Structure 1
Amino acid sequence: MTQTAPVEPGAHRSRRLADGTLLFITLVWGVTFVAVKDAVSRVPVFSFLTLRFALAAVTLALWLAVKGWKSRRRGAEPAGGSGGSPDGPPASWAGLLTGGLLFLGYAFQTLGLQYTSPGKAGFITGLSVVLVPILEAWVFRRPPGRAALVGVALAAAGMAVMSLEPADLAVHRGDLLVLMCAVAFGAHVTAVAHLGRRSESVSFTLWQVLAVVALSAAVASFERWEGRGLDAAVAGTLVVTGPLVSGVLLLAQVWGQRRTSATHAAVIFAMEPVFAALGGWALAGERLGVRGLVGGVLILAGMLAAELGRHGTRPLPLESPASRPA
């Protein structure tokens, strides 16, 4: 009988910390949903995204500059891969590709919301949790385990219970647009899990953000926004969601996904509608209802099933930029 090598306790602690980090990120996504929804009702969507990700880019650029300065003071090679450049080709092309997927997710979701209900759009967007294991198995030849598939199925069922109304069962033209959004977000999670493992984290994240800024600004040029609606509340939302959510937490997502599979991360991200519902209840007085509670329990059960099925398995090996083949 073949015996598997024991897993070091430190590796399990690192993986639990990564899971906790991804769950905290999902919590922040959900809680800030109400504020973002209010902001884009007063500011055009792509103008808002341009400002939000521009603030994130400044934050990450400063982070990278400080990191390089500290490395030079120690006499060490600056992080960023071969050649000592923090924005070397591996991080740039990987970050731009991944950032393009992130932008497409936002773009298709925004277009689709014009032709379908918010509840149905939320459910279809959440189907990215189902698409991630399919993409991971197809592109990277890494089929998910049985427990992960059970977790995905439970999470998808929970999102359906929370989001869908009987009238939403009809297919609208916006549904296909939102489905493309789910594909883009699923591909983004998969790309971060795999490309982010082979690049220096800060420069990889910065290139992602720059891609979203450039593409959002290109679309925003057609919105012809003149600054109306940019009040203190919207500015506060930009300050929180820019440097923190789209800057620091996107970097934390890259760090966390380097230590787990894309499928497992997707199941954790399925908690976003639960946290959004709780945020709506706490901040805007929205009712959860029986369906919200049942759906939340199913999503939580899916996350626990995926986690319990992973117990005792070896964490994914990390690839450092220095170990990349030339």
Structure 2
Amino acid sequence: MTPSRDIPVFAYKLLIVLATVIWGLSFVVMKDAVDVMEPAWLIGVRFLITAALLTAVLWRHVRPALTRRQLACGGILGLLLFLAYWTQTIGLAFTTPGKNAFLTATYCVMVPFMFWAAAGKRPTAFNLAAAVLCVTGMGLVSLAPGTQAVEFGDVMTLVCAVFFGLHIVCVSRFSQGCDVLAITVFQFWVMGVCGVVVGALTEAPPNAAAVSPEFLFNMAYLIVLASCVALVIQNVALAHVPPAQASLLLSLEAVFGVLFSVLLYGEVLTLRLAGGFALIFAAVVLSEAFPLRGRRQQPEDIPAAAAAADALMGDNEAAGDLEEVLEGRN
């Protein structure tokens, strides 16, 4: 991967870190937003607007991709990602942003086992060790002190991690023969429609608080920064950073999620929680990095988080288009 325009690789790594900072803060922003608008409605409004913005920006990719196959792929991805965000947002309403961030990150450990079920590729010993660390960490984070009960918000967050993992597996399958930027836009449209439909059927409609300055600021952050800007930053940077390094940098999202939860939400970081977070983070690092040591990277060896991001990115030509968008030259 050769950086374009003499931009050093270090600069692209900083861009990935910037994206994880944006997403880390989004856990606190979503916590405030879900107190005003119920989960399905929040996802529907957020991603309909996101889809409209990205359709306008990426129209030259979207228009030729309006085929039955690519629309179907986008529809499946959109349904899985809607279920992931919906259960994550429900979980966030019943737990803290920090716990939500770290439990969501467990999808990185789940993905190798999902690929085993889907494609027969056996997990490595590192994946198995990571799973043990992850389960131990989840127990420390999720089990209420002094009881054997797992809190509802934590259960829903773990369910969301399963859907994120399934989404990654499907992205890797559907990226062959599709314009991944276009099917990304299609999935956002499906997410938005699903959110509005589910919200209309199961939740109370948005109230007057949904037009308050505080809520509109939160929605602007989620739509413009967390959904559009961070996506562009990630995709441009991933064209120039080796996948193994990128995946580890992307895992910092959970760390920033906890940091902002402690600083802005007032979450108390007990020794028990800190130990659980440390074990989950160690599991993510072990699952992502160590299986690649000592052997040349092949496409199928790309770590889970980077595989999803690379599949979303597509190829260097697509990333170049995104660079032009980022620089306002499209």
TM over 0.5: yes
- 1:258-289: per-residue Cα shift (whole Å, max 9, x none)? x859xx95x87665443221011222343323
For residues 268-283 of structure 1, the aligned pairs below 5 Å read 271-283=252-264
Q: TM-score, normalised to structure 1's length?
A: 0.71
**Take 2:42 and 2:256, find their aligned partners in 1: how far apart are those partners?**
23
* Equivalent residue number for residue 42 of structure 1: 36
Judge conservation of contact 1:122–1:163 (CA < 8 Å) in 2: no
* Equivalent residue number for residue 314 of structure 1: 297
Q: Is 2:211 the partner of 1:230? A: yes
* Equivalent residue number for residue 164 of structure 1: 143
Amino acid at match of 2:179: E
| Alpha-carbon distance change, 32 to 107 in structure 1, aligned in 2, over 3 angstroms | closer
Q: TM-score, normalised to structure 2's length?
A: 0.70
Corresponding residue to 2:230 among 249, 257, 271: 249
Q: Is 2:210 the partner of 1:210? A: no
**Take 2:56 and 2:146, find their aligned partners in 1: how far apart are those partners?**
49
1:298, distance to aligned residue in structure 2 (A): 2.6
1:54, distance to aligned residue in structure 2 (A): 1.8
* Equivalent residue number for residue 86 of structure 1: 65
* Equivalent residue number for residue 322 of structure 2: none
Judge conservation of contact 1:28–1:245 (CA < 8 Å) in 2: yes
Corresponding residue to 1:144 among 114, 123, 130: 123
Corresponding residue to 1:195 among 143, 168, 174: 174
Amino acid at match of 1:307: A
| Alpha-carbon distance change, 164 to 126 in structure 1, aligned in 2, over 3 angstroms | farther
Amino acid at match of 1:194: R
Corresponding residue to 1:61 among 47, 55, 61: 55
Amino acid at match of 1:309: P
- 1:224-262: per-residue Cα shift (whole Å, max 9, x none)? 2244343112111111211332234346667859x859x
* Equivalent residue number for residue 282 of structure 2: 301
**Take 1:172 and 1:290, find their aligned partners in 2: how far apart are those partners?**
18
Q: 151-160 or 100-109: which moved more?
A: 151-160
* Equivalent residue number for residue 288 of structure 1: 269
| Alpha-carbon distance change, 159 to 276 in structure 1, aligned in 2, over 3 angstroms | farther
- 1:119-140: per-residue Cα shift (whole Å, max 9, x none)? 9877765543443222111112
Unpaired runs of at least 5, structure 2: 4-8, 301-309, 316-330
Judge conservation of contact 1:136–1:142 (CA < 8 Å) in 2: yes
Q: Which has more radius of gyration?
A: 1
| Alpha-carbon distance change, 290 to 197 in structure 1, aligned in 2, over 3 angstroms | farther
SS in 2 for 1:43: coil
**Take 2:150 and 2:270, find their aligned partners in 1: how far apart are those partners?**
25
| Alpha-carbon distance change, 290 to 161 in structure 1, aligned in 2, over 3 angstroms | same
Amino acid at match of 1:56: T
| Alpha-carbon distance change, 304 to 49 in structure 1, aligned in 2, over 3 angstroms | closer
Judge conservation of contact 2:109–2:130 (CA < 8 Å) in 1: no
Unpaired runs of at least 5, structure 1: 1-8, 69-78, 322-326
| Alpha-carbon distance change, 63 to 184 in structure 1, aligned in 2, over 3 angstroms | same
| Alpha-carbon distance change, 91 to 252 in structure 1, aligned in 2, over 3 angstroms | farther
SS in 1 for 2:209: coil
Judge conservation of contact 2:108–2:284 (CA < 8 Å) in 1: no
1:207, distance to aligned residue in structure 2 (A): 0.8
Corresponding residue to 1:107 among 75, 81, 86: 86
Amino acid at match of 2:292: R
Amino acid at match of 1:192: V
Amino acid at match of 2:226: V
How many residue pairs match? The answer is 292
**Take 1:204 and 1:215, find their aligned partners in 2: how far apart are those partners?**
16
- 1:176-207: per-residue Cα shift (whole Å, max 9, x none)? 76554332222112223332354223212101
**Take 2:57 and 2:82, find their aligned partners in 1: how far apart are those partners?**
23
**Take 2:147 and 2:252, find their aligned partners in 1: how far apart are those partners?**
22
Amino acid at match of 1:136: F
**Take 2:279 and 2:266, find their aligned partners in 1: how far apart are those partners?**
23
Q: Is 2:122 the partner of 1:128? A: no
Judge conservation of contact 1:86–1:203 (CA < 8 Å) in 2: yes
Judge conservation of contact 1:158–1:294 (CA < 8 Å) in 2: yes
SS in 2 for 1:157: helix
* Equivalent residue number for residue 46 of structure 2: 52
